[in-house]
Each structure stands twice: as structure tokens, then as C-alpha cells.
Structure 1
Amino acid sequence: MVHVDGASASPREGERMGKISLKFPAGVSDFNTIVDPTSHYAFIDRTLSMTTFLVNKGTCFLLLRPRRSGKTMFLSMIEEFLVREDCRTSSFKVDFEKMEIFLKMKRLKGEKSLSFEEEQELLRLENVWQRRGQYPVLSFSLKGSSRKETVQSAIQSVAKRYKALLYASPRLSATERKKFQRLVRGEPQYWERSLLDLTMLVQKHFDSKVVVLIDEYDAFLNFSLKSGMEEGVREFLHSLLCLGLKDNPCIEVCVVAGVTRFVKTRSLSGLNHMVVNDLVFPGSLACTFGFTQSDVMKLLDQCDETKGVCIKDLEEWYNGYRVGGQQIYNPWSVMSALKSGILKSYWTQTGSVESIIKVISARRDILSSMTKLYFLNEYVELSASVLSRSLASVCLDDMETACDIFWYTLLQTGYLSIVTQDKLSVQLGIPNKEVRIEFNNILGQLKRGTENLGKSSLKKFVENNDVSELMSELKRVLDACSCKNLTCEQSYHSLLFGILFHALHDWLVISEGESGYGFFDIGLIPPDDNISSTATVIEIKYVKKEQKEDKLLKTAQEAVQQIMTKNYSSFFTRFSHVRKVAQVGICFSGKTFRHAMKVVNIRKRKL
């Protein structure tokens, strides 16, 4: 048995933690397989969480959590709990009387007196327990649905499960039997109605309402950027889900699971009736799709005695997700680490960041925030107005809204976590070491192929902080630009930030950093092994009409004075290797610009 408090020093990345004999179900998503006593898998009981979905009849839920967080297993648990005996597909039947959902109900019944809240909970549990094994269940996944045929195949496979019962059902009319047979054979038909038709046919045969469970409903949004997606799949899925789920009297309860909301305008215009449960509004499911501290301690207690398994190591690597005020571990990574005995990145290796890199490459403001998230441990703020909108009302033409959607998507996909939250906004940050390593990978990929860009032309700037050389490089780039793209201070800011981010490969390039009494435009911090120990802060100004050079120079000098007055240079005192700051003001007008500079000491040189 592991003694966590007395564990040895933290193992380094890739270092083995010791032999572990217990089986940890990383990669196993079938509930029956995990709880089967012959499998000997570690299991954290989440059966009580089913009551959230099963108390209210006729409700459709949209369950949103990051990938590999246990959604698929949770849906299979609901199926096992509700499915009728004559509809079962598994030979092993779970004994739910040994699970927390029954044990909690039994404990409450055994109490001599209950509070009002406990009485209400007992009523809910009894209500849910009475529905055990009462329903036909239609369960399918839309994983890999980048073509209509794959979606149709998913519906067809569900129909095949009921082939033996419905193919010649006397409770269906001849027309209805033919309709079902076409579904089983996958014959041409109006497939947009197939889910609706299947629920109606199954309901009529069993004379019982149907439970619908749909996993990875948004998988088609995550298709490979290289392979693309067949035209019309979005519209097809939209029609399939809207016709099949909205106001369908045949459905007892429906749970649709995925990672994030549709963000394309009108994609879910017919499904705004769904009750959304996500990381921002998790309700009673805050701890359901992740491990709490006590959960991890229980898992460690089930391990054989080892030399290196330490709760502090797991906390550093995989904890840090804040959901509903609770601190949560990444369940996939914890299980994988306990299974292999090695601390390393697991969850981040299960998905591609290609689409994230594509967005960051096109948005200077997002790239700026990413660098501050990673290098400065700052936070990004997400507007609550975006979170409260209907699923179909998001307009991506609004740049600010599009930025909020990007951060919300990173939150829902697990790359960011909530730090603080109130009614107006949510602050997001990097949760743990595993994700921080992935951020480093993302920023590295953005600079990949640009390692030598600017090294020759900016050699003197890099080595001696020769700002005149930086200005020469800027002039060369401006001469190659179209004036149509240089219309405001922001356009020059984006241009200069892009040049410096890619050219100064080993430098930290910050945009709109908060310091002193305001925000500077661009900050450049050399690596700690650089020849020069001088950082640079740049303030950008712009005048619309062509001005004489002395006017541009005067405005550039005013920009330097602004840097001094607002004490922007104080930002760089956090970097112990930086001793001087070059305060640079640049004033642009068309393709013309002038600059001014003043170098100040921020730290005395050690004797």
C-alpha cells in the first residue's frame, strides 16, 4: 500500500514511478467491462450523477466536457441502468444494488429522521430507481461523421440491434415494418427523418417511450483539416437532430454528449430547447467527469507499494481544472500514469492542435494573449454574455465575439481552466504542467520554419540592441506592404508584432503588456543567455495625413515620454537577467515613420 505523505522525491519527466499491479482502465469506455468483477479494473462510482438526467421526463440535455473525460462511459452507464431486459446487448448484467445510487437511497431510508433536503433527495432517488430497466435505449456515436454515409451508418447500426424484435413486429403496420426494414438495410430514403422514424417505430413496438443517447455529436466539427468534410454534412446533421429530438413525444429522456457548442450561425437553431451542462455551468456534475483529490488518493491506495508514486507529482502534472468551484484532475492522464508508472503527457497526445494553430496564426490579439498565458502566467477574460447566448445566435463576423468563442472552445476542450468566475465574466488560465508543455509545443510550431528569419538582418539588434537595424528591417517590410493594409495604429501594431514574434525566435515578444500605469504596445525580452541584457519597450503612434519628418519625430519623442511617465519599464524588472530597457517610440504615417529612443537602467550591474 502506498504511503503518499512519505513518498520519495518527485520523478522527472519520463522516469518510471514503479511497478503497479492493479489494472487502470485508460482507454476502456464500456461501463459493463469496467465494473465486471472479473476485469479487476479500478472504478470511481458516479451512479448518483445519473439522477441529474433522469429526474425530469421528456428533457433533452446537452452534456459538454473535454475529450477523454468519461462521457462515453457515463452514457453506457445510463444505458445499462435504463435498458429493458429484452433489449440488452451485454451478457454481463451490472448489479446496481452494490452501487452508490442504491446505497445512498438505502441509507436515507434507514434514517429515523430526515431534513427537508434529504426527504427530497430520497424521493428523487426512489423515482429514478423505479425506472431502472424500463426502456428501450437508442445509443449511438457520431464519431468520424465527416460524410453523410457515416451518419446514416450509425442510425442503421442502431436499427439492426432491434432487427430481431421489430423486423416482423405484429404491433407495426405493414408500411411501418417496411420503413424499419429500409432502415436496417440502409436503403435510399429521407434520412433526415431516420432518427425520428426509428424512435416512433421502437416506441410503438414496445408501447414505451424511448431513451436516446448520442455521443460525440460535434465530432464532425473536429474532422481532419487535411481530409476536409463532405458538403452538406452540417445541414444534414442539423436536420437529423432537430427533427429527431425537438418536441418528440416518443422520447423519455435524451442526452447528447460532446465537447463544445456549435458556433456556426444557425447550426442548432432548432435545438435551443436543450438544457446545457458545460464547464462554466456544471451544476451538480462538477466532479462527475474528472477526479477529485479524494478520488486520486483512493486510486493510489489501490496500488501496490511503490517508490515513486506521489500525490504531489500527479497534482503538478494533471490537476488544476476548476469546475463548479471544485479542483479536478484530468482522469485520462491520471489513469494512464498509474497504468504505465510514468509521468508524462497523455491527454494532450490524444488530439490535434492543428485547428488551434490555424486560428492563432490569423489573429495577432490571440497570439499575444497566448504568449502572456504561457510566459507570464496571466489570464484571459471570457465575457459571460457569450456564455448566456442561445446556441444559434453567435456571430463570428464580430471579431470580439469570435475571440471569446476561441477562448470558450479552449476551455471546453481542456486546454484552459477557470481561475475565477462571476456573473459578468470568467477568467481562464493554464491548468497544469501537461497543458503548459502543450502550450510550449503550440508556440513552437508557430515559429517552426522561421528559426533563421531575421537572424542575419537583425544580428546587431540581437547582440547589441542596435535599434537602428530594427528600424531598417521595418522599413524594408513597409516598402513591400500595400498602403491599403496600413490604415490605423492597430494595423502597424499587428505588422510589427508579427515581424518580431517570428524573427526573434528565442526572445519573448509581448503585445499589450500591463505595466506601471497602463499598457505598452510591444515588449521584447532577450533570452537569459543572450549577449545583450537590454530589453525593449515600444510605443506606437499613427497620424492619418502625411506629415513632415520633424512632426513625426516629435510624436515619436512624445511616445518615449509616455513610456517614462507611465513607468512601462517597470514590467521588465521581473526578469532578473535584464539590466537595461530601450524605450522606443515610433510614429507612422503611410510608409513613412520616425523613431526616438532612450535607454534606462533598471538594475545595477553586479560587481
Structure 2
Amino acid sequence: MTMLYPVGIQSFKEIREGGYLYVDKTALMYNLVSTGKYYFLSRPRRFGKSLLTSTLEAYFKGEKELFRGLAIESFEKDWTEYPVLHIDFSGVAYKAESDLQKMLNQVLTEWEDKYGITAQSDLPGLRFRQIIDAAYEVTGRKVVVLIDEYGKPVEDNLTNEELGETYRTVLQGFYSTLKVKDEKIKFAFLTGVSKIGKVSVFSGMNNLRDISMVLQYAELCGISETELQEYFDESIAIMANEHKISKETCYRKLKEQYDGYRFHPDSEGVYNPFSLLNALQDREYGNYWFETGTPSMLVNVLRKTTFDITTLDNQEVIASTLNGADSIVDNPVPLLFQTGYLTIKSYDPDSRLYTLGYPNGEVKEGFLNSLITYYLRSSNPEESKAKVPKMRTALIKGRPEDFMNYLTAFFANISYQIQGNAEKNFQYAMYIILDLIGMDVQVERATSSGRIDLTVQTKDYIYIIELKINSSAEKALQQIEEKGYASPFATNPRKLYKIGINFSTATRCIEDWKIVG
């Protein structure tokens, strides 16, 4: 029997009635609904938040038949039907002041028609309160409120502060209903990609429990290693057979590409469900998450900040940073963590520092590709892309001249002029290229007499690279010698090459380079 993968399906009812595979999260869900009332959950996009919300909706509507054979069936006995108000802020691009008002008006009108009332106000918050009163009176039961992507209007305008603040004010009034009508609310669950703005949007709601980094609910969304083996072992065997590799190798490759998201320092890593399901359906190790939307907003944020992108894969932060809602221009790390581009790699209880890094290969490759399109916009992307594996091979095989020829040709296709701090941006571009091709690259390696711009190490070779802007390759090599940058590697048996590179801001090309080895 062919397995049906629910790729892109966010309706619990459709999955259950359509015979699609469903990874059972209902035991965790039951614990959630039976031990609390107001919850907030932040997870990256395409991580199953909408499916979880849809599952909660079916549960609170008492649709018992949809849960047959699932864990919750042994816990729940009553299956009481409650009025459910479910609103999803995704699917709309909030670019004009009226966009949010139109979206809210459409949803509120549908609810008003359902419960037979006429709006007594134009304000969304006051209409929401009236609707909760009506739902409570008509059904005789408390109301369940489910909100998907609570902050998307604000997140769409992180670089448009004026419009973002306007949306924030509207949402603040709308969400205040949850506190005002507390006695008529049975349960409320809100999801979002980012916590940025949560503090101000939910001003005064001190009863909203944030479970985004609670160990107990770390696997509420996503697929754990245990679930992967329980639900997908047969699929992985088929995929391994098609690729003519062992099942163990297939598991490892899937883990490297899609696993690694950790939402608590003591939790196991979980897989991105969207990417994993696509990979098993297509039987390919693609970059599915990035194909659904590039992180242009994040790249735009990084353009406005002085944040050192070369430290992305080794960030040390305190706990409050992970939950931060401060200015993303001053510190984009909270946003990068909350949106899934960085995750928890380790935690030191003595220093109380978290170390962050890319979750997996898909995120790292996709994000570096997005960054490189900003720093280096190629006039011939396919030709430039073809040079990437050749650069890698040249470095691994100890052919620095070939590497530099490919690199020079790569920059010759660049139509974007590096601006601002040209030396720093050129260094960033070089770092991204080397990291993207899978090199062990270190930026600003400290020595007793200075800092090496770039150090690349392979199994058999070491490359010390010094960069100059509007100068000469000779001066770059001279600095390597005068500063003794090669001294730390004096006893290393690997072959060492010193490379001096001069970049011209006038021609936007590598003007000259020299190698000593």
C-alpha cells in the first residue's frame, strides 16, 4: 500500500479522512488542554503549527471520530463541543494600512453572521468582545480562541517601523479581548514564527503561558528521531534502495539535512516536518524549506545592522537573548533563532551561555545562498554556480592557482558593487563562498602579532588568505610575512599556502593575486 504523505496539508480533518499519515501528537496536546488555559507557541514556518491548531479545533468541536486510534482516545471521555473562534493571519501580505482592517473585518463579519448579531462598533477589539458574548449565550458554553500567526502583520513590516507600529496598536486592542472576556473563555492558543513584538502586542496579558522553550513541549511540533523510526522506517528503506545506499546511510543523510532543531537545551533535536515529508515523497535530499520562501526579510535586517555574519554558526548568548523582543537592527540573533535559522547547539550551566548554530545542512546552505545573492549578485548565476564545486576541488587537492582562477572568474560575473565598509563586505563575501563550498574557514584568526583575514584548512592543506582593497596582492603577502601569520602552523605537517588578494572597488573584481607556497 502506497503511503500518503500530507505534504502542505494543514487540516487535521482532511489528513484523517483522506488516509494520510499522521504523526500522533495528541497525548502532548491533551496534556496541554487539561493543565492550562492560555498558551503561546513560537516555531519556525512550515513546522506544523497550523496542523496543531487545526487538531485543537477538531478536539474542541468534539469530533471524536477523527481521533479514533490515537493516544487521546484513551484519555478523553466527554468530547464536549465548544464554540471555536479560529483566525489565521497568514496568507495575506500586509503592506498597506487597510490590509489588516480588511482581513479582520472579513473574519469578524463571518462570526457575526454565524451567531446572528450586528456589529455595534467599527473597532475590531470591541466587535470581538461582542462575538464572544454571543457565542457564549447561543451555545451555553465557554469559547475557544485559536489564532494562527498572531504577529504576521507586524513581522511583515520589521523594516517599516511606522506601519508596523500601526498594526501593533490594532492587534493590541484586538488581543486585549482575551483578558477582558476571561470568564467566558475556555481555552486560547496562539502561534507565531517570531516573538518580536509579542511583549507590546500582548500588553497586560500576564496570564499567557509561553511554551516555546518548555522541555515538556519541545516535540509538540516537528518530528523526533523516535517518531521517524516508528512512522517512516519503511519509507526510508525504499528511499535507500532507490539511491543504492544502506538504510543506515539514508537515516544519517536525512538527519544531517533536516534534523537538529532544539527548543530546549535538554531536548532532542527534531526534524523539519515539511522538508522531511517532501524528501520522503520525492526520495530526494532537496532544500524544500527554502523553496517555499527566501528569508529576504532577514537579509534586509542584516543589511541594516553591524552584526558580524561570520559568527552566525557559533553564537554565544544568554537565555534572555533567545526570548528577546528588542530592536532586531541592534541584535538580529533573537529573530534568527526564533525563525529557525539558528538553533541551540549546547548549553553551559556554569556560564549560563547557550551556543547557537545552523540546525542542519538545508538551513545552512539555503541561508548562505541567500546571503551571497546580497553580497554578490551575479550577472550569470548558472555560470557562477558551476564554479563553486570546482573551487572546492581545487582547495582539497592543493591547487590554489586553480582556485584563484575560478574565484577571479566568479567575481568577474558580479554586477553588484560592494559598498559601505568595502573591506569588511569583501571579507564577508569570501567567507560565505568558502563556507558555502564546505570548507573549514576561520575569520580573523588571532595570532600574537595580528589577525589573519581568512584561514582555510583541509585534510592535507592550509591556506592563509590576506585581503586588500584598492591596494596590491604584494602588500597582502608582505603583511602575512611581517606579522608572522604562518608561525602557528610551523610544526603542522600539512602543506601551507599564503595567498594575497587585492580587490578593486572601481572594477568590482579581483584585480591581482599572488601565491607563495
Aligned match for 1:96, one of 49, 55, 67? 67
Q: CA RMSD in A?
A: 4.5
**Structure 1: unaligned runs, 5 residues or longer:** 1-19, 85-91, 106-128, 168-179, 374-378, 453-461, 465-480, 486-493, 540-556, 583-598
TM-superposed CA distance for 1:31, in Å, is 0.5
Name the counterpart of 1:121: none
Pairwise mapping of residues 205-604 of structure 1 onto structure 2 (< 5 A)?
A: 205-223=138-156, 232-245=166-179, 248-263=182-197, 266-278=200-212, 281-303=213-235, 305=238, 307-308=241-242, 310-324=250-264, 325-370=267-312, 373=313, 379-387=314-322, 394=326, 402-403=330-331, 406-422=332-348, 424-449=352-377, 496-501=423-428, 513-515=444-446, 520=451, 522-523=453-454, 535-536=464-465, 564=484, 570=488, 578-580=496-498
Mean CA deviation greater in 266-275 or 297-306: 297-306
1:368 to 1:580, Cα distance in 2 relative to 1, 3 A: same
Structure 1 contact 535–572 (Cα < 8 Å) conserved: no
Structure 2 contact 43–339 (Cα < 8 Å) conserved: yes
Structure 1 contact 53–253 (Cα < 8 Å) conserved: no
SS of match in other structure, 2:269 = strand
Name the counterpart of 1:83: 61
Structure 2 contact 218–263 (Cα < 8 Å) conserved: yes
Name the counterpart of 1:61: 39
1:189 to 1:349, Cα distance in 2 relative to 1, 3 A: same
Pairwise mapping of residues 30-45 of structure 1 onto structure 2 (< 5 A)?
A: 30-36=11-17, 39-45=18-24
Query: Matches of 2:431 and 2:456 in 1, distance apart?
Result: 10
Query: Matches of 2:110 and 2:281 in 1, distance apart?
Result: 36
SS of match in other structure, 1:437 = helix
Structure 1 contact 419–427 (Cα < 8 Å) conserved: yes
Cα distance per residue 1:25-45 (max 9 Å; x no partner): 011010011112xx2211111
TM-superposed CA distance for 1:533, in Å, is 8.6
Query: Matches of 1:518 and 1:154 in 2, distance apart?
Result: 61
Query: Matches of 2:205 and 2:305 in 1, distance apart?
Result: 31
Query: Matches of 1:505 and 1:82 in 2, distance apart?
Result: 48
Name the counterpart of 1:10: none
Aligned match for 1:138, one of 82, 85, 88? 85
TM-superposed CA distance for 1:335, in Å, is 0.8
1:190 to 1:21, Cα distance in 2 relative to 1, 3 A: same
TM-superposed CA distance for 1:258, in Å, is 0.7
The number of equivalent residue pairs is 445
1:68 to 1:198, Cα distance in 2 relative to 1, 3 A: same
1:301 to 1:512, Cα distance in 2 relative to 1, 3 A: closer
Structure 1 contact 22–41 (Cα < 8 Å) conserved: yes
Structure 2 contact 172–200 (Cα < 8 Å) conserved: no
For the pair shown, which has the larger CA radius of gyration, 1 or 2? 1
1:440 to 1:208, Cα distance in 2 relative to 1, 3 A: same
Counterpart of 2:317, as a letter, is L
SS of match in other structure, 2:118 = helix
SS of match in other structure, 2:453 = strand
Cα distance per residue 1:425-468 (max 9 Å; x no partner): 2111112221122133023212223789xxxxxxxxx989xxxx
TM-superposed CA distance for 1:293, in Å, is 1.7
Task: Give TM-score scaled by structure 2 length.
Answer: 0.72
Structure 1 contact 135–209 (Cα < 8 Å) conserved: yes
Mean CA deviation greater in 24-33 or 200-209: 200-209
Name the counterpart of 1:24: 5
TM-superposed CA distance for 1:515, in Å, is 4.4
Cα distance per residue 1:167-196 (max 9 Å; x no partner): 1xxxxxxxxxxxx2238xxxx612232222
Q: Which has the higher contact order (CA 8 A, sep 6+)?
A: 1
Structure 1 contact 140–158 (Cα < 8 Å) conserved: no
Structure 2 contact 445–453 (Cα < 8 Å) conserved: no
Query: Matches of 1:201 and 1:574 in 2, distance apart?
Result: 77
Counterpart of 1:319, as a letter, is D
SS of match in other structure, 1:181 = coil
Name the counterpart of 2:406: none
TM-superposed CA distance for 1:197, in Å, is 2.2
Structure 1 contact 259–412 (Cα < 8 Å) conserved: yes
Task: Give TM-score scaled by structure 1 length.
Answer: 0.62
Cα distance per residue 1:528-566 (max 9 Å; x no partner): 9xxx99624589xxxxxxxxxxxxxxxxx99998x55xx
1:145 to 1:440, Cα distance in 2 relative to 1, 3 A: closer
TM-superposed CA distance for 1:361, in Å, is 2.5
Query: Matches of 1:425 and 1:317 in 2, distance apart?
Result: 26
